[in-house]
Amino acid sequence: MRMCTWLPSLFNAGYAQDEQLIPFPSFHMALITLPKSHFYLSSLPTCRILTCLRKYLSPDNKKGRKIMCQGYFPLQQKQFRIYFQHAYHKKHHSEKGNKPHPIGPVLFQTATWERFEKSDGLVDDQRIYKKLNSFTSSEQVLKFVSTLETLSDTMAATALYRVSEMEQDEGGQKVPKTILENEIFRALCFQFEYESTNLSDTGLVTALKALTGLHVDPQSNLLVNLMMECQNRLLQGHMSVHNLCVLGESMIKLQSPNCAVLKEIILQLQSQKLQECEPEDIVAIYMLLQAALGEVVQYQDFLDHLNHLSISLVYKFNPKFTSQVLNALVVLNQTQAFPLVVKLCIHSVRFVPHFTSEELRKVLEAFIHFGYTDKFFTEALEQHVSTSCLTMHPECVTQVMQYCSKKMILSKPIFDAVAESFVYQAEIFSPVQISQLIVPFGKLNYQPPNAPLFFRKLENTVRTQFNYFPPQVLLNILHSCTLIGRHPVNHVAKLFRPYFLQKLQAQKSGLNRSILAQLTQLYLATVLECPFYKGPKLLPQYQVKSFLIPHNLLETPMDLLLYKTIRVGLIDLLGARIYFGSRVSTSCCYTVDIEIKLDEEGFVLPFTSYEDAFKRLALCIDDPKRFCLNSHNLLGKEVIKQRHLRLLGYEVIQIPFHEVDTLQSRSKLVNYLKKKLFPHSYE
């Protein structure tokens, strides 16, 4: 205690008279030899020492300001108290392959010490946690930490983790130099390295996860010490479920999914009473198993138990947990957990306005992956997109359109909002994202109210960035526009040239039948609907004979049950089966569901007749698969088919399923067909 009162007076005397009276090294030695216990005997002497330090570190005293930061971590309270000494340490978080970098002098502003003096001691961890989450840059986090007098090891690790999160958001694969040279960052790393045995479990695993995310060299002393301490505590078997999961994720990154440590972690998780766990612990287990994807097969029984248990906890999940679990189920391909998926999807309806863009994207991905649709979810999505589309992340907007496209949902509010967003900010979308936005318009046969502006913006974007569009992506966009009668004549000529075809062939998929079918239909549309086109032709070797191509059909096969119903009515109406043909192939690659030939007087000819027919009727037997979901709006590929058949001389007669379903007797069916085929004679 004598030293504690002597040092300030001696220091003040030296500072007041002459700086040379107390050389800096002497002061340094006096400080580092001060017993640790003296810092806790009285807050007043400690504050007096720090007041003297603040004066010594004033801007006018350049010599005294050049000091080195070292964290001090008391054993009793496990709290950070930042003290200083003049020393150099190697950089414990250097990147692999780099030479050790000595930590240089650290300069603190006087204002920091004024705040330090005013601190009332321990700061509430919850308040610090909220404050850390409110920052938007690593510099803000570290600056805030430097203003705190005391900091728990958990909050110190959380601060490092926030730095890690923000650097990953910026796409960094290395710790930026500005972070490496930050004195608070190095003080925290130094403290974690040399006091790893005194850390709490949560502080230990959080620090390891943060430093792993910052790509710290696994061979550095810092990470080696933390990993060894983690393994020691793992062997003791007292770590909580959440800490086990955090440790497991770090070990996967540092070692591999099949490392012995991870197997021990999952073994301990299996022995836990999961029914007593909180929702955040259950979510943490899912996140761990998702990270260990390659080894999940051997843990499927554990996953089944977890899936069954989670059903009763869904109502406790917040938006973040709901999104994370759904994403984990997608990655782990838990198709057998459909009851859990359904409950999560229903639960997600209430959170649609509260999801972040990334969370909503993951939820939509789960809806697509598991083939689930929900009327109320779609309605909530419509309201959300209508009001927030301009502020949503491009990936989320494209995922919304993919959801509508995959599930055949023609949502006019969503399509209108996306079309408006594209007109105003097309520049934020990548070529692939533009394709994902445009294709659903053609696929679902919809033109928004601002169609002239929308397609003009698309044409300008394609023209200015033509060389940046991958060949397949460009073909998808132009083909989609053609489906709804928006013919990209200015660009289509480039697609039929050998150079573009060679680029298509050079792709991984090559010129498969699906690509050739798209090229054929695009060329057919250009010839039939754009007679003024004088550009290059598509050579015969790049054309297909039929659009009924498996896995990527450009026309929907006829539904057999609906066809049999219509066939019975036609036989009664025409008198015999010989008077109509079914599944008739045409010279333009399309297949007609039912074809009927008529002579000049309107009489029906036998379909096997070789004489030229004066008129041909093409009956389109349209079942629900040819329409958008819960709608009477035909798909784009059916609309272009009917359009082309008319241009080829057919009289197209549409027989939709929703009209046939209302006919309750055979006689009503016959009358319905007579009115459809022979409207004039029917009258």
- Contact (CB, 8 A) for 8 and 55: no
Residue where a domain stops, chosen among 197, 227, 247: 197
For residue 88, tell me if it sits in a domain: yes
Bridge partners (DSSP) of residue 68 are 85
Predicted pLDDT of residue 179 = 80
How many CB atoms lie under 10 A from the CB of residue 400? 27
Angle, vertex CA 189, rays to CA 187 and CA 194, nearest 5: 95
Q: What CA–CA distance (Å, rounded) separates 263 from 334? A: 21
Residues of the chain short of pLDDT 50, as ranges, are 1-123
Q: What CA–CA distance (Å, rounded) separates 117 from 112? A: 9
- Contact (CB, 8 A) for 520 and 538: yes
pLDDT tens digits, 440-489: 999 999 999 999 999 999 999 999 998 899 999 999 999 999 999 998 88
- Contact (CB, 8 A) for 517 and 484: no
Predicted pLDDT of residue 478 = 94
Residue where a domain stops, chosen among 135, 170, 197: 197
- Judge if 564 and 599 occupy the same domain: yes
For residue 630, tell me if it sits in a domain: yes
> Domains in the chain: how many in total?
3
Q: What CA–CA distance (Å, rounded) separates 585 from 550? A: 16
- Judge if 2 and 55 occupy the same domain: yes
Q: What CA–CA distance (Å, rounded) separates 299 from 308? A: 14
Residue where a domain stops, chosen among 173, 197, 221: 197
What DSSP assignment string belongs to 465-487? Answer: TGGGS-HHHHHHHHHHHHHTT--
- The DSSP code for 515 is H
- Judge if 676 and 658 occupy the same domain: yes
- Judge if 102 and 171 occupy the same domain: yes
For residue 71, tell me if it sits in a domain: yes
- Judge if 23 and 130 occupy the same domain: no
Q: Break the chain down into helix, strand, coil percent, rounded to 5.
A: 65, 5, 30
Predicted pLDDT of residue 587 = 86
For residue 185, tell me if it sits in a domain: yes
Domain that holds residue 635: 560-682
- The DSSP code for 19 is G
DSSP SS3 for 200: coil
Predicted pLDDT of residue 548 = 85
Among residues 678, 620, 609, 672, the alpha carbon closest in space to that of 646 is found at: 620
Q: What CA–CA distance (Å, rounded) separates 452 from 432? A: 22
Q: What CA–CA distance (Å, rounded) separates 398 from 401? A: 5
C-alpha of 432 from chain center:
15
For residue 158, tell me if it sits in a domain: yes
Q: What CA–CA distance (Å, rounded) separates 389 from 385? A: 5
Bridge partners (DSSP) of residue 615 are 598
- Judge if 110 and 18 occupy the same domain: no
- Contact (CB, 8 A) for 249 and 291: yes
* Helix or strand run (H / E) with residue 228: helix 221-236
What DSSP assignment string belongs to 230-289? Answer: HHHHHHHT---HHHHHHHHHHHHHHS-TT-HHHHHHHHHHHTS-GGGS-HHHHHHHHHHH
Q: Identify the CATH number of the domain in which residue 611 sits.
A: 3.40.960.10
Q: Are strands 68-72 and 79-85 parallel, antiparallel or unpaired?
A: antiparallel
Q: What CA–CA distance (Å, rounded) separates 544 from 552? A: 13
Q: What CA–CA distance (Å, rounded) separates 315 from 325? A: 13
Give residue 402's identity as a one-letter amino acid code.
Q
- The DSSP code for 559 is P
- Judge if 154 and 48 occupy the same domain: no
pLDDT tens digits, 297-336: 788 889 999 999 999 999 999 999 999 999 999 999 999 9
Predicted pLDDT of residue 164 = 86
- Judge if 74 and 193 occupy the same domain: yes
The pair of three-digit structure tokens given for residue 55, joined into one six-digit string: 């004066």
For residue 399, tell me if it sits in a domain: no
- Judge if 88 and 142 occupy the same domain: yes
- Judge if 22 and 135 occupy the same domain: no
Among residues 74, 24, 81, the alpha carbon closest in space to that of 47 is found at: 81
- Judge if 47 and 89 occupy the same domain: no
- Contact (CB, 8 A) for 258 and 294: yes
Predicted pLDDT of residue 602 = 85
Predicted pLDDT of residue 169 = 62
Angle, vertex CA 41, rays to CA 37 and CA 46, nearest 5: 90
User: What is the share, in percent, of the chain residues with pLDDT greater than 70?
Assistant: 80
Predicted pLDDT of residue 59 = 45
For residue 345, tell me if it sits in a domain: no
- Contact (CB, 8 A) for 116 and 221: no
- Judge if 568 and 652 occupy the same domain: yes
Predicted pLDDT of residue 507 = 84
Q: What CA–CA distance (Å, rounded) separates 139 from 144? A: 8
For residue 428, tell me if it sits in a domain: no
